[in-house]
Structure 1
């Protein structure tokens, strides 16, 4: 069986503040343990548990727009306006990324400048998703194909260089917009944590992912530290992700 998407990890200067923002905006509980501060997984509209958001402390400086940003859905014009107002009240702000006035979505940033969009009601592409409707990524078609195989999620959009995948159980989509891809400026602030199923061999999964186009990746982790139970890898576009121990 392929690995599962466990969490989307967000590096943060103030993890607790950022977790409270996203927990408040998405209506999810926030919990803290020895592994981080979590905006916990809800059930999808289909009744399947979704991935968590994991906020980790980092003093890495922001070097430009993120390679990944969130799309938050809305069910009506009033709901969209309420979602925007909630984001602003929680510490978000409007930002300009070159969007035009006739575009239906609204571009905002969270308290640490991470871009996200509130999507207008009636968007058919995200109609079968949840409140957190999509992870929109800079990336190539090869990257979308890799993640489809890595997670066992089928391609639900495949037009030109644009791809998107979604769990067979439903929930948020993950999409890659194709070229031009913004240059990667250091370690990504947002990355995926995945894990093989219980009873699987982590090393065999590493080898499988390498066969699909991934590679091991050095971000300065100390491989001699026996407490490390994850393997840092990079996808075909060079984006970091972590393969955890089976769970």
Structure 2
């Protein structure tokens, strides 16, 4: 059985502050916290995907290649959401061309969008989509279909969409010509099911186009790192966690 997408991991300077800011933004609570990690998640039974915040020493550099799109019910709800988040410390990013969505940055500068209402996002929860820049959206989407499971819509255009098997946001791939130059500040975690083997799933993803990558995990004490860090075919980091139901 394939791995499935379980969390979005966001590097930050102040994990606790970021987790609480995003918890307020989404209406979610803290689901786990220790000195190295703060997690937020939707209430049981509600759609969504866990957000994990972890401290890193590096400062943010350039635009993130992975960002979140937030849903709205209508124009009034979109405007109210933008105003509420700006009042809470978000910063508006002005675009060169007028768009129906609003681009904001959270208190640590991570870009995200508050979308206009779109029927296809109804019922997905407050996060409509996890958006990943891609040189080849269809090809990268095909890899992530192997990693995250779900139905892929890729017609050769600038956007490919993966509808995941778990209730929550779409995983969308948007064409870009910009090269990846630094470690992603936002990355995805996948996990095998309890009856599956982590090493076997890692090898399966490598055969699908991933490769091992080093982001400092080898410097941790032996046994402390229980995940395997890979890079997808376009170099985006992805962690394969230990099996779990």
The TM-score with structure 1 as length reference comes to: 0.90
The aligned runs of 1:132-143 (5 Å cut-off) are 132-139=127-134, 140=136, 141-143=138-140
Structure 1 counterpart of 2:22: 22
**Number of positions where the alignment pairs a residue of Structure 1 with one of Structure 2:** 240
Distance in 2 (alpha carbons) for counterparts of 1:169 and 1:221: 28
1:245 paired with 2:242, answer: yes
Structure 2 counterpart of 1:226: 223
Distance in 2 (alpha carbons) for counterparts of 1:218 and 1:166: 29
Distance in 2 (alpha carbons) for counterparts of 1:202 and 1:193: 13
Deviations 1:188-216 (A, max 9, x none): 00001111000211110011001111111
Q: 8 Å contact 2:127–2:169 — kept in the other structure?
A: yes
Distance in 2 (alpha carbons) for counterparts of 1:134 and 1:9: 15
The aligned runs of 1:51-66 (5 Å cut-off) are 51-66=49-64
Structure 2, unpaired ranges of 5+: none
Distance in 2 (alpha carbons) for counterparts of 1:89 and 1:48: 26
The TM-score with structure 2 as length reference comes to: 0.91
Q: Secondary structure at the match of 2:129?
A: strand
Structure 1, unpaired ranges of 5+: none
**Aligned residue among 127, 136, 153 for 1:156:** 153
Instruction: Give the CA RMSD over aligned residues.
Output: 1.8
Distance in 2 (alpha carbons) for counterparts of 1:216 and 1:233: 4
Q: Secondary structure at the match of 1:70?
A: strand
1:38 paired with 2:39, answer: yes
1:6 paired with 2:6, answer: yes
Q: 8 Å contact 1:158–1:164 — kept in the other structure?
A: no
Change beyond 3 A, Cα 1:41–1:156: farther
Superposed structure 1 runs of 4+ greater than 3 Å apart:
47-50, 156-159
Q: 8 Å contact 1:11–1:56 — kept in the other structure?
A: yes
Deviations 1:67-96 (A, max 9, x none): 011110110222112211221122101112
